[in-house]
Amino acid sequence: MLLRLLLGDQLHIGHSWFKADPDPVVCYTLMEILPETAYVAHHIQKVVGFFGAMRAFAAELEAAGHRVRYFTLDAPDNQQSFESNCRALIAELGATRFEYLLPDEYRVDQQLAAFASSLDIPAQAFDTEHFLAPREAVQQQFAGKKTYLMEAFYRKIRAQYGILMAPDGKTPLHGQWNFDAENRKKLPKNIVVPPAPRYFREVTDIVQMLARMGVRTIGTIEARHFDWPLTRAEALDTLRQFVQLRLSQFGDYQDAMSGRDWLLFHSRLSFVLNIKLLHPLEVVEACVTHWQKKPDAVPFAALEGFVRQIIGWREYMRGIYWAEMPGYRDLNFFEHQQPLPGWFWTANTKMRCLQHSIGQSLERAYAHHIQRLMVTGNFALLLGVHPDETDAWYLGIYMDALEWVEITNTRGMSQFADGGLVGTKPYVSSANYIHKMSDYCAGCAYNKDQRYGPDACPFNSLYWDFYDRHRAKLERNPRIGMMYKVWDAMAGEERAKILERAAWCRENAELL
Ligand SMILES: Cc1cc2nc3c(=O)[nH]c(=O)nc-3n(C[C@H](O)[C@H](O)[C@H](O)COP(=O)(O)OP(=O)(O)OC[C@H]3O[C@@H](n4cnc5c(N)ncnc54)[C@H](O)[C@@H]3O)c2cc1C
Ligand code: SF4
C-alpha cells in the first residue's frame, strides 16, 4: 500500500499522479489541521474556502475511483498534525511507502522533509508540476548580482515557453517586451463594469464546525451564499468570464481604484491559481487564444500586461521566496516598530481610501493589487509599522494569501523591508497618486491638497516625514534623489509644519 499526502493548496487534478487509472493500492489523504488555521488570524472566507475546496477535490478524486482518506477538522481520529495523522494511517493501512508533493511554504517543506526522513519506510517528495520555473530559478539566474530583476526573469520565461514571441522565437511579438506604459488609466465615470463571477453555495456546516472547534477568524461571511469558486469547473468558469468580459480592459484600468466597485477589471483568479485548481499555462493559453480570435477587441497591451502578472510577477515572487528564505521573514530595513492601527481590523477610519480598501477586504477577503500596494501598504510603510505586523495582516485577510507570495509582496514589494531586493524604490505616495488613480478623495473627510492642519490628508505629511526620517538610507538611491531636492527647496517653516502634522498623525494613528 502507498500513502500519498496532498496539502490544501495542492488540488492539481492535472498532476501526473492522477493521469494513470486509479490504483487500489494507492491511498490519497487530505487533512484539515487546527494549527494551520491558527498561525495568524485568517479571514473566515479563507478557512472556509480552503476546506471547501479540499472537500470538493477529495470528492472528485473518489468519484474518479481513487481511494481517499479525508480528515475533517472535527473528526474524532484527527490528531491535528500532518505527521501524527500520516503515522496513524501508515500503521492502519500497512503502508510500505509514503509520498508527498513539495510544499510551497518553507516551514511545511522543512516539517515534511524531517517527517519523511524519520519514517522507517521509503519516502519521496515529488514536484507539484504547477509552476513554470523551478524553485531555484531566480537564485540561479541572478547568482552573484546585488539585486534581482523581474523584467529579465519574465523575458527568459516568455522565450523559454514561446509565449507571445515572434516566429524567430527570440524577439517579442510586436517588437517590444513590455507595454506597461499604456496601462495606467483612471476609471471613467460612465464606464460599465461587468458583474463579478459568483458561485452561491451553502457553507453553514463548515462555519458551524469552525465555531465548535474554537477557530479564531476575522472578517465576515455569507454562509448561505458563499461566492468563491471552489471546484475546477468553477475555476474554469471564472477564467472564461474574465477572458470574455474583462481582459480587454484589464490593461487600461489595472491600476485604477474606485468606491463604486470592488473587482473592476481584475480576474479574481489568484485563489484558484494558488490552490492549483488552475495551471498558469492554461490561464495564459485561454487569454492568448481569445486574443487570437478577437485581435481587434483585445488590445495587445492588455494581453501582455496580464500575461506578465502570471508568468512574470507570480513566478518571480516564488523564486525570490526560495532564494531568500528563511532570513527574509526577519528583514526590517527601516527598523520600523510602530503597531498596525486597530482600525485595520474594523475599517473604522475617516480616511476614505483606507476605509474602502479595508472594509472591502473584511467583507470579501479580496482587494486588488493597487489597493494592497498604494493604499494599505503605502499607509503602513509611511506610518512606520513593523513588517511583522503588516505581514500578519496580509497573510490573514486575503483569500489568496500563502506565505511564498504574500511575504515577498508585503515585506518586499510593499514595505521595502528587504532594502531593495524586489523593488528598486519604496512604493510610497502622497494623496496625489491616490487622487489620480481613484475617486476616493472626493468623499473623504480629509483634504487631499493640504499638507498640514487638522484637515490635511495624513498621507501628505507622512510622505515627506518618511523621506526626511530615512534620508541616510534613501538619498543616494538614483530613483529618489530628486525628492530630496524638492523637500530641501521648501521653506523651513513649511517643512516644520509638515513634520509637526506627521508626528501628530504617528502618535494618534488610532484616531485618523
Ligand atoms: C502587499 C501585497 C500583498 C499581496 N499578497 C498576495 C498574496 O498573498 N497572494 C497573492 O496571490 N497575491 C498577492 N499579492 C499580489 C496581487 O495583489 C494579487 O495576486 C492580486 O491582487 C489578486 O487578485 P486577482 O486575481 O484579481 O489579480 P489580477 O489583477 O487579475 O492579476 C492576475 C494574476 O496575476 C498574479 N499576480 C499579479 N500580481 C502579482 C504579484 N505582485 N505577485 C504574485 N502574483 C501576482 C496573480 O496570480 C493574479 O491572480 C499581493 C500584493 C501586494 C501589494
Ligand atoms: S484625501 Fe487622503 S485619506 Fe482621504 S481618500 Fe484621499 S488620499 Fe485617502
Kindly write down the DSSP assignment for every residue of 302-337, as one continuous string. Answer: HHHHHHIIIIIIHHHHHHHHHHHTTGGGG--TT---
Q: If residue 175 lies in a helix (H) or strand (E), which one and from where to where?
A: none
The number of C-alpha atoms within 13 Å of 65 and in the hemisphere containing its C-beta is: 8
Size (the chain), residues: 512
Cell of 393: 495582516
What is the average pLDDT across 71-78? 98
Q: From CA 216, how far away is CA 209, in angstroms rounded?
A: 12
CA torsion sign for 330, 331, 336, 339 is: negative
| CA of 448, closest atom in ligand 2 | 1
Tell me the per-residue pLDDT of 117-168, one tens digit each, with 9 for 90 and over.
999 999 999 999 999 999 999 999 999 888 889 999 999 999 999 999 999 9
SS3 content of the chain, % helix, strand, coil (to 5): 50, 5, 40
Q: Whose CA is nearest to atom 24 of ligand 1?
A: 268
Tell me the per-residue pLDDT of 268-278, one tens digit each, with 9 for 90 and over.
999 999 999 99
Ligand nearest to C-alpha 456: 2
CA of 11 to the centre of ligand 2 (A): 41
Tell me the per-residue pLDDT of 35-55, one tens digit each, with 9 for 90 and over.
999 989 999 999 999 999 999
Is the predicted pLDDT of residue 289 greater than 90, yes or no?
yes
Q: From CA 109, how far away is CA 204, in angstroms rounded?
A: 32
- Confidence category of residue 410, pLDDT binned at 50, 70, 90: very high
Q: From CA 259, how far away is CA 435, in angstroms rounded?
A: 12
Cβ–Cβ under 8 Å, residues 95 and 89: yes
Cβ–Cβ under 8 Å, residues 284 and 160: no
- Provide DSSP, 232-287: HHHHHHHHHHHHHHTHHHHHHHTT-B-TT-SSTT----HHHHHTTSS-HHHHHHHH
Is the predicted pLDDT of residue 450 greater than 90, yes or no?
yes
Q: From CA 252, how far away is CA 258, in angstroms rounded?
A: 14
What is the average pLDDT across 255-283? 96
Residues with CB under 6 Å of ligand 2 are 351-353, 431, 434-435, 440-441, 444, 446, 448, 457, 459
User: Rounded to whole angstroms, what are the CA distances from 431 to 289, 447, 474?
Assistant: 40, 9, 21
Q: From CA 509, how far away is CA 78, in angstroms rounded?
A: 44
| CA of 398, closest atom in ligand 1 | 8
Q: Which of 105, 309, 415 to mutate to test the pocket of ligand 1 (most atoms within 8 A of CB)?
A: 309
Q: What is the pLDDT of residue 217?
A: 97
Q: Is 37 helix (H, G, I), strand (E, B) or coil?
A: helix
Residues with CB under 6 Å of ligand 1 are 266-270, 273-274, 309-310, 313-314, 317, 368-369, 372-373, 377, 394, 398, 400-401, 405-406, 409-410, 413-414
Tell me the per-residue pLDDT of 225-250, one tens digit each, with 9 for 90 and over.
999 999 999 999 999 999 999 999 99
Q: Whose CA is nearest to atom 3 of ligand 2?
A: 351
CA of 201 to the centre of ligand 1 (A): 25
Name the residue type at position 119.
Answer: L
Q: Whose CA is nearest to atom 1 of ligand 2?
A: 448
Ligand nearest to C-alpha 105: 1
Domain architecture of the chain: domains with CATH: 2-126 (3.40.50.620), 137-194+246-324 (1.25.40.80), 342-511 (1.10.579.10)
What is the average pLDDT across 469-482? 92
Q: What is the pLDDT of residue 278?
A: 98
Q: From CA 339, how far away is CA 383, in angstroms rounded?
A: 9
Encode 422-438: b = buried (16+ Cβ within 10 Å), e = exposed: bbeebbbbbbebbbebb
Cβ–Cβ under 8 Å, residues 301 and 251: yes
Of 336, 334, 356, 339, nearest to 347 (Cα)?
A: 356
Phi and psi dihedrals of 16, rounded to 5?
-60, -20
| Distance in angstroms between the alpha carbons of the first and the last residue of the chain | 61
| CA of 354, closest atom in ligand 2 | 8
The number of C-alpha atoms within 13 Å of 459 and in the hemisphere containing its C-beta is: 26
CA torsion sign for 246, 250, 252, 257 is: positive
- Confidence category of residue 325, pLDDT binned at 50, 70, 90: very high
Phi and psi dihedrals of 410, rounded to 5?
-80, -65
CA of 187 to the centre of ligand 2 (A): 17
| CA of 242, closest atom in ligand 1 | 30
- Confidence category of residue 184, pLDDT binned at 50, 70, 90: confident
CA of 408 to the centre of ligand 2 (A): 27
Of 408, 404, 422, nearest to 131 (Cα)?
A: 404
Phi and psi dihedrals of 457, rounded to 5?
-60, 125
Cβ–Cβ under 8 Å, residues 227 and 198: yes
Q: Whose CA is nearest to atom 43 of ligand 1?
A: 314
